Each structure stands twice: as C-alpha cells, then as structure tokens.
Amino acid sequence: MDHLSRRSLLAAGVVILAGCKTTTTYMSAGDTHPSTTAPSGGSIPTRGPIVSIAMVGDSITRASESALRDDLTQLGIDNDDIIIDGETSRRIANGNGKNGNTLSGARAVTALLEAGTDPSVWVIALGTNDVGLFGTPQECAELIEQITDLLPPPIPLVWVNVYRSGQLRQTRIFNEVLEGRIEARGDAVVADWYSIASDPDTDVLRSDNIHPNETGKLAFAELVAQALQRL
C-alpha cells in the first residue's frame, strides 16, 4: 500500500494529519512538546537535517518495522540509514540475551554504540514490559535513566510512551515520570502512544489490548514520524 493510501486509510478512522487545528491528530492536547530549554549561553543549539535513525524497542516496534521504514523513508531518510531493533518481551534493563532471554534495551543501545552507531536521532520505545514491575516513581526514573544516561545531549531523542490497559495506574506513573525525565533532559520529545491506544474511538490494538493491529502499526509509525518532525 503506498504512503498516500495509508494516510487515507488512517484518516478514515484515526485522523493523523498534523498541523490542522480543526482535525484530531495523534498528538493529544497534553502531549509533550520538544524541550526548548536553552543552555547557559541563552540560545538553543542548531542541528543539521535528520539523515539517520536508530530505534530500540520491544514487540510493538518489531511488529511495526515495515510501516516505520515506509514513514521514515517518506521523511527523506535512506532505508540503509534506518536501524530498527525491536525484540519481543524486551524490557529497559533486564535481559542479557543468554539462555533464551531477551537482550535488554540498555544492553541493545550499548551494543549499537560500541558498534559505532551514531544516528541523527535515537528513538526508544520501551517500558511496556516494565509496567507493574517497579514499585515507585523513583525506581521508574532510574530505569529510564539507564537509557538516557547512555544518550546524553546533544543527541536528539524521541521516546514513545506506553499503554497497558490491565495496569493503568502503573502505566500512568511510568508515563508521567518519562515526561518529566524527557523535559529535564532537553532536545527530546515524548511520542504519545498512550493517547492513541487508550482512545475508545480508535481501533488500533489486537485482542490482547497491547499489541497493534494492522491499523495500529500504521498509527504507531506515523506517530514516530510526527515526533521526529517536532524535534
């Protein structure tokens, strides 16, 4: 399906055209906007165009890889300059890739960095498999910082937040902490998957109410593309 027809399909159910004030978009009214915190010199650093992407995520990312590549190439990024590393059941810190265990997100990012990966922007889509497994907001912040500490500014960062219907309280805690960490970091933005996946007027999830269906894969990819344009 070409990019135009995919947009038309989504517009019929979950309207995705950004920038139109009379149209519902993937970004909710409360969505995190890119941090514009200036350094001590008083000006926001400029950067070149986005020419490469490295994305680390879980099964949602893995399922959406084809749609992600379609949308990212539509932004002018060469397919060879797009790294998408999504693994089923991946958590932020747990997992070493041994004995059938999923390699953790932090370890995956570290492996890419050690291999010399130096993208224009990092995209992280992790946390869904950690929801409910931490006790306090502080523990959640420490998890998130295991990734953000690996990717210090001025490397731009997009982090896709999470939705887990069976753990709504813990989901909201994670997302609130994530938003605060991203705002404090600067040169970063949260992509609001929670608002899309939790919207009762959308149909973007499979019967497990976690993983995206075919329309959801398109919505997830479009959300990431929009977030990149907000950096």
Tens digits of residue pLDDT in 123-175: 999 999 999 998 799 999 999 999 999 998 889 999 999 999 999 999 999 99
**Higher-scoring residue by pLDDT: 207, 25:** 207
Domain spans of the chain, in order of start:
51-230
Alpha-carbon span 199 to 24, nearest angstrom:
12
Least confident of 46-55, 67-76, 147-156, 208-217: 46-55
Categorize the per-residue pLDDT at 190 as very low, low, confident or very high, splitting at 50, 70 and 90: very high
Q: Mean pLDDT, to the nearest integer, of 201-208? A: 96
Alpha-carbon span 8 to 24, nearest angstrom:
14
Q: Mean pLDDT, to the nearest integer, of 109-136? A: 95
Contact 47, 156 (CB under 8 A): yes
Mean pLDDT across the chain: 84
- Classify burial at 116, counting beta carbons within 10 Å of its beta carbon; exposed 0-12, middle 13-18, buried 19 or more: exposed
Neighbours of 74 (CB within 10 A): 16
Does CATH place domain 51-230 in 3.40.50.1110? yes
pLDDT tens digits, one per residue of 57-92 = 999 999 999 999 999 999 999 999 999 999 999 999
In this structure, the dihedral spanned by the alpha carbons of residues 191, 194, 199 and 202, taken in order and rounded to 10 degrees, is 60
